[in-house]
Chain A
């Protein structure tokens, strides 16, 4: 199973015992999110996934700097990957 580093911002860390960097073993993004849910409970999981198990619209997930979309939630993870979870409304210019 791939060991990956997960980074989150303070808003999400509130639901992760204020941990902004954690290590998780998972072979896909979906598995990673499930493991985070098991570790930190439904307060976290309901904020990441909707009732149908899809990624919420306001959550962005990056694997090694690449933004994945909801459809890619089954994306495979590799050993050493870095996963960043950010609220989507966080920038933009014009």
Chain B
């Protein structure tokens, strides 16, 4: 059974196409009757490896509507060289760059588009900083429904091209992500479009939980000491935590005690600011100033929930400069062979900073979520110095190899 519960007033809103509580406007969250979920480790070990193997903990009521292009089942890589460089005992990378559209966004999109089919919607869309646009468009293409994606005009060209190639109508808006989000909310309200991260949001965020299920299953059904999560709206961090708690409640995990840790760019870090200064409110960043476009959300929709999760789990928050984030892209690629986008590698940069500051213990086992592929933000990377061009002549080749 799937129902929506208000996070603020706990009212039960049933299973419906709604996203805010009609009584108090609080956020709605999917709740399952966990007492009826029959899942155990052995059953899961024998299922086809996909995010949908955890479907009892996903909000789908009609399996025939599932839209699956192969999201999930991404590697958890032990990163010993990087652990040594950063100075932690053990480090794993949850490498979500390997998803079908090259970011973790395929997980929530797969769920959201499946729900759109269940609710018989003819058009879907999203407000996106880039990655979600491609993921929504790809799943809409597979589902055979129209798609309209909204992005700030400043988004990397590769992400715009990617969304367009799947056949979505791409609308670039001269403004910030928060402007895009505001217009998408009006599109959802006035035109009945299923905007995956607006009016399908309670269902959409559930897909991200599968990353947490995979992490603990790949670790042998236990949690690491800490999970570091690239954070913009706070939805991913909150979903991962919810997933861990549900896995614990149905007995898949003995206990879940990972310290959930937020990673943001310094030029747009409203959640980090609120945490570090103990503010009771999250102060909007009106004009984000960072090259990390995928995390440039000044008004985080799930910011309060993310703060609650960080505090409840004994986690932490960290922000790094763009230079640190770029260095992390290079470090991750050159030590572990994982090429991440700058918003995906920021978890590495923040972990390093928190270890250096003494906020994270050197004896910890940490999982860093790496959320998107480097090919998506190639424009912002400095030109590497280790590139040489020569004529197709052996003399030039041997000269080059002799001197290097």
Across the interface, A58 reaches (CB within 8 A) one of B8, B236, B300, namely B8
B127 touches A94 (CB 8 A): no
Given A56-B25, A89-B19; A94-B343 close (CB under 8 Å): yes
Given A14-B22, A58-B26, A60-B299; A92-B185 close (CB under 8 Å): no
| Distance in angstroms between the alpha carbons of A41 and B96 in the assembled complex | 50
Stretch in B248-256, B281-289, B311-319 with 4+ CB within 8 Å of A: B281-289
Minimal Cβ-Cβ distance residue in A for B129: A93
A58 touches B281 (CB 8 A): no
B20 touches A65 (CB 8 A): no
Tell me which residues from 333 to 377 in chain B have a Cβ below 8 Å from any Cβ of chain A: 343, 371
Query: Is the CB of B128 closer than 8 A to any CB of chain A?
Result: yes
Stretch in B52-60, B63-71, B82-90, B174-182 with 4+ CB within 8 Å of A: B174-182
B284 touches A67 (CB 8 A): yes
A92 touches B22 (CB 8 A): no
Query: Is the CB of B302 closer than 8 A to any CB of chain A?
Result: yes
**What are the residues of chain B within 8 A of A14 when measuring CB–CB?**
22
Query: Is the CB of B197 closer than 8 A to any CB of chain A?
Result: yes
What does the 1/0 interface line of A56-85 toward B look like (CB < 8 Å)? Answer: 111110100111011000000000000010
* Shortest beta-carbon distance from A91 to chain B in Å: 4
Number of A-B contacts (CB under 8 A): 111
Given A65-B182, A67-B286; A91-B22 close (CB under 8 Å): no
**What are the residues of chain A within 8 A of B286 when measuring CB–CB?**
66-67
Interface residue total, chain B, C-beta cutoff 8 A: 51
Across the interface, B299 reaches (CB within 8 A) one of A47, A67, A70, A84, namely A67
Across the interface, B127 reaches (CB within 8 A) one of A10, A12, A91, namely A91
A91 touches B231 (CB 8 A): no
What does the 1/0 interface line of A1-26 toward B look like (CB < 8 Å)? Answer: 00000010111101000001000000
Tell me which residues from 21 to 70 in chain B have a Cβ below 8 Å from any Cβ of chain A: 22-27
**What are the residues of chain B within 8 A of A60 when measuring CB–CB?**
299
Tell me which residues from 93 to 121 in chain B have a Cβ below 8 Å from any Cβ of chain A: 105
Given A11-B25, A60-B299, A67-B299; A92-B281 close (CB under 8 Å): no
12 further A-B pairs in the complex, CB-CB below 8 A; given A7-B186, A58-B24, A93-B294:
A9-B189, A11-B22, A47-B25, A88-B301, A89-B27, A91-B197, A91-B201, A93-B127, A93-B131, A93-B197, A94-B230, A94-B343
